[in-house]
Amino acid sequence: MSHTVSVSPHPSPTASSTAPGPVPKAELHLHIEGTLEPAQAFAFAARNGITLPYADEAELTAAYAFEDLQSFLDLYYALMAVLRTERDFFELADAYLARAAEQGVRHAEIFFDPQAHTCRGVPIGTVIEGLSRALAAGEERHGISTRLILCFLRDQSAESALQTLEEARPYLDRITAVGLDSAEVGHPPSKFREVFAAAEALGLRKVAHAGEEGPPAYIVEALDVLGVERIDHGLRCVEDPALVERLVRERMPLTLCPLSNVRLRAVDTLADHPLPGMLRAGLMATVNSDDPAYFGGYAGENFDAVRDALALGEEELRTLARNSFLAAFLDDDEERRARYLAEVESHTFG
């Protein structure tokens, strides 16, 4: 055996840059408050003089056994008590971007829930200044382009949503779109007809959660009454073949969140998720993380989990990544979209 092997102490730059990394993707369904990790919650609580009703991180994590959307939302809103200062919101978003970048996220469109903060006496300006400062630095610090989406809480009144839009007016240069989230059943999209019309008149794009726990009819309302351009979740469209046909025809993006669906019991197990059939039907599905600190994974872990549990092949994964950029609000930067799409096409899966 006389092969000479030269071992260099560091991998050569070419070797490491050609090693297949995660597929490049856009994340389009991500609640920034849902990225609050247990360790961060305790750190923010300590510096803000807040005592959490959990002894330690392990005890807090043990509370993440959800039965449905509401049982999650109860904890999600309670833990937000630790978010008080502009610095908290900056660090929350910056930490998310750092993690997302490691998992191949190139572009992130990020939800926030202003009413969940203003109702605790935190001014909307504190929230938006902190988040938007982190997002504006996202490209330089983490190589991620970003958009910010203001969500209305659908279990609050239509008047409260209108007042929130009014409070956000000084900051609209930082905001791309409005969305609709929180407890779905009993709060149909039509309740928010007026505020979505007002948002459109202000030049904002529109999305809404629909068909997560709510019926397919809520998806139809979000389209016809609110005029949304993407449906967040949209999982229950599969119960209505005529609706599926329409969503395919209109190439309506659905921002699916597989690990969230398992944790909130929208599906029994990941192997039962309808994603493969949705792709075969021609739906414009995307894969996202929703509230990664609570549901067991960020964008990359969601991609890996559906690949493994649903035996998705390279072309299905490439389609999901391609869809994410096609569905992104990048109309003001088509050059960037084309660059991201080219990266998807040339990606080598490991």
By CB under 6 A, name the binding residues for ligand HPA: 31, 34, 69, 76, 181-182, 209, 212, 260, 290-291
94 binds, among ligand HPA, Zn ion, none (CB under 5 to 8 A by kind): none
Stretch touching Zn ion by CB under 5 A, among 10-18, 55-63, 97-105, 283-291 = 283-291
Q: CB nearer to Zn ion: give 295 or 337.
A: 295
69 vs 327, beta carbon nearer ligand HPA:
69
User: How many alpha carbons lie under 13 Å from residue 209 in its C-beta half-sphere?
Assistant: 24
Q: Catalytic amino acids?
A: 212
CB 189 → ligand HPA: shortest distance, Å? 13
209 labelled binding-site residue: yes
Which has the closest alpha carbon to 97: 148, 173, 44?
148
- Nearest approach, Cβ of 213 to Zn ion (angstroms)? 11
Helix axes 124-136, 158-168, angle to 10 degrees: 60
Instruction: Decide whether 235 or 344 has the Cβ nearer to ligand HPA.
Output: 235
Which residue in this structure is represented by tokens 């005029």? 227
Q: Does 290 bind Zn ion (CB under 5 A)?
A: yes
Cβ(256)–Cβ(287) below 8 Å: yes
Instruction: Quote the least distance from Cβ 19 to ligand HPA, whole Å.
Output: 34
- Nearer of residues 109 and 290 to Zn ion, judged by Cβ: 290
Whether 303 and 316 have beta carbons less than 8 Å apart is answered as: no
Q: What's the rounded Cα separation, in Å, for the pair 34 and 112?
A: 9
Min separation Cβ 171 and Zn ion, Å: 22
Place of tokens 């970048």: 101
> DSSP label at 213?
S
Check the annotation: does 290 bind a ligand. yes
Amino acid at 304: D
Q: How many CB atoms lie within 10 A of CB 65?
A: 9
Binding-site residues from annotation: 29, 31, 209, 290-291
Binding residues for substrate: 291
